[in-house]
Amino acid sequence: MGVHNQRKEYGSMLVELGKKNPDIVVLEADLGKSTMSCMFEEAFPDRYFEMGIAEQNMTSFAGGLALAGKVPFTNTFAVFASGRAYDQIRQSIATAKLNVKIVGSSSGMSDFGDGATHQSIDDVAIMSAIPNMTVFTPCDGLEVRRAVEAAAQLEGPCYIRLCRNDLEDIFPADAAYRIGEPVVLREGTDVTVFTHGIMAHEALKAAAAAEKEGISVSVVHIPTIKPLNEEAVRTLSAGKKGVVVCEECSIRGGLNMLVSFALRGSGIPMESVAVMDVFGQSASSHEELLEYYGLDAKSIYRKIRKAAGKQEV
């Protein structure tokens, strides 16, 4: 185990896939050195399209490439990938089920210095609501490689959400990857914590702290927000005192709503950790924002205690 950056692993995997499949092409909206699509440009300059700060045009162009038999990956910050090009994604790509892979970099609040305009708290809700879209939210750098590989092999539109910052490894490099299937990272009997994206790291820290207090916590990572095996969610929640759902995006339209729907009528208490319908802001670090918005391990720990029926301290 080590530390890897999701963006760098993404760029590296793109190059690997590009060597195997000559139909893979990459489009960039003037952020290649940040999204790390520049790695593909260096390896395959004739299959790389710098589209400038014109996300709508880039997305439509990608649709045309897909119709010509290519496998296009579009790249920009998550907030622009999902928001600025929404109409083109919906009307030109998703309705026709075109084989376009949309990659949103610097997701959530990981672009901590640039504030609300560059922090994507709503991209998961936007992309999940689009029919025919598969939504990948990997938790570490090595899982990004498997997610990108799976997206490249899947026929149809995909969205891949990437964090800006370095992350400790959770999965081994050779871990199996199954679209739609929750992955148990830690077994426990009292509370189940469901997470996606980078929140798995905070949840595992919180679970370790809860164990010291005698609370047994299961941590479950959701590799793809869409599709999601609802029956697996119910099975992993059965018999627990409560569940906690954690995500670095809006509570509206994300994993909290999906788990709540899956557990409807079960009577299992549920606690939520998410961005509570507010915009982000600039800060000196990503960790500072996670703490401020109640997305850090300490905040999850408090929710675990509540779900377990413990009195607040």
User: Which residues are catalytic, by number?
Assistant: 55
Q: What is the DSSP letter of 310?
A: P
- Whether the CA torsion 84, 56, 180, 108 is positive or negative: it is negative
Task: Give the 3-state secondary structure percentages of the chain, helix then strand then coil, rounded to 5.
Answer: 40, 20, 40
- Whether the CA torsion 84, 105, 178, 225 is positive or negative: it is negative
**Hey, what are 266's tokens?**
């079960």
CA distances from 35 to 194, 298, 309 (A): 28, 30, 43
Backbone angles phi, psi at 278, to 5 degrees: -135, 160
Backbone angles phi, psi at 203, to 5 degrees: -65, -40
Distance between CA 38 and CA 48 in Å, rounded? 9
Q: Nearest Cα to 83, choosing from 127, 17, 50?
A: 127
Distance between CA 289 and CA 202 in Å, rounded? 13
Residues 274, 251 contacting (CB under 8 angstroms): yes
Residues 135, 162 contacting (CB under 8 angstroms): no
Pairing of strands 134-136, 224-226: antiparallel
For residue 4, the one-letter residue type is H
Q: H-type helices in 84-172, by residue range?
A: 86-88, 123-128, 141-153
Backbone angles phi, psi at 242, to 5 degrees: 180, 170
